[in-house]
Amino acid sequence: MINLARLEKILGVEFKDEDILTQALTHRSYINENPDFHLSHNERMEFLGDAVLELIVTDFLFSQYPEKAEGELTSWRAALVNAKMLSSLAKEIGLNDFLLLSKGESRETGKARDYILANAFEALVGAMYLDPGYKKTEAFIKKCLLPKLPSIIEGELFRDAKSTLQEVAQEKEGITPSYKVLKEWGPDHAKQFIVGVFLGKKKVGEGEGSSKQEAEVQAAQDALKTINNS
């Protein structure tokens, strides 16, 4: 089984009920492969953690930047809590080594694993909120996530990629980008989409996400890299 004590040391957080931490690390695929496992998968905790994470980040931005308008704070928050950022944080703390996955899922890499890691990070935040509580969760987020904000602001990573791409494409090519779903799979509660962005008939970017909107944003970011490097 996973070494929970080692993970708690990395997190700087101790759990009274280790089942709560274990459940946060349990992917649906593991339960499908081990139906007698004594815990459920982590999707409910992910749902909770998503809300807790957003509240902590919102509270911080609201109190620290009283002069900033709602629209700008919303953009900053979106850049802090998106799947790319959360999967990156999950990798930084080595969360991959502690996940309970099916044998098949454990062999997955790339974007598929990134989304599992991002969701597990949210579930971990949900678990912290349940045990040991809000204050410890807030301290953890302030230590590992909120220090990323200055580089987001400096690099303007909060800018809406779709709007930026539209501006660049119209300026350089005189064309408005169009988006097309190239592939979708998974059950209704856990759909995944791959979306391509096109300038005319030319595909200039591709993105994956758990919603069409998320995949479109990823595709726009990919296209901006392509256009800026060309």
- Active-site residue, from 50, 208, 214, 222: 50
Active site residue 122: yes
Nearest to 85 by CA among 183, 143, 165, 152: 152
pLDDT at 160: 76
- Please work out, in degrees rounded to the nearest 5, the angle formed at the alpha carbon of residue 130 by the alpha carbons of 36 and 29: 30
| Same domain for 203 and 94 | no
Between CA 174 and CA 177 the distance in angstroms is 10
Residue indicated by tokens 């620290």: 64
How many angstroms separate the most distant Cα atoms in the chain? 60
| Same domain for 59 and 131 | yes
pLDDT at 163: 81
DSSP assignment of 88-123: HHHHHTTGGGG-B--HHHHT--THHHHHHHHHHHHH
From 154, 170, 187, the end of a domain falls on 154
Per-block average pLDDT, block size 10, for the chain (230 residues)? 93 96 97 96 96 97 94 85 91 96 88 89 98 97 96 78 84 89 88 94 92 88 80
Tokens (6 digits) for 167? 């501006």
| Same domain for 171 and 111 | no
pTM of the full structure: 0.74
- Active-site residue, from 105, 122, 138, 214: 122
pLDDT at 148: 95
pLDDT at 230: 65
Domain count across the chain: 2
Total residues found in the chain within this entry = 230
pLDDT at 69: 86
pLDDT at 180: 96
| Same domain for 224 and 114 | no
What is the residue range of 200's domain?
161-229
Nearest to 51 by CA among 131, 128, 146, 160: 128
Active site residue 50: yes
Question: Given the DSSP bridges, would you call strands 192-199 and 202-209 parallel, antiparallel or unpaired?
Answer: antiparallel
Three-state SS at 174:
coil
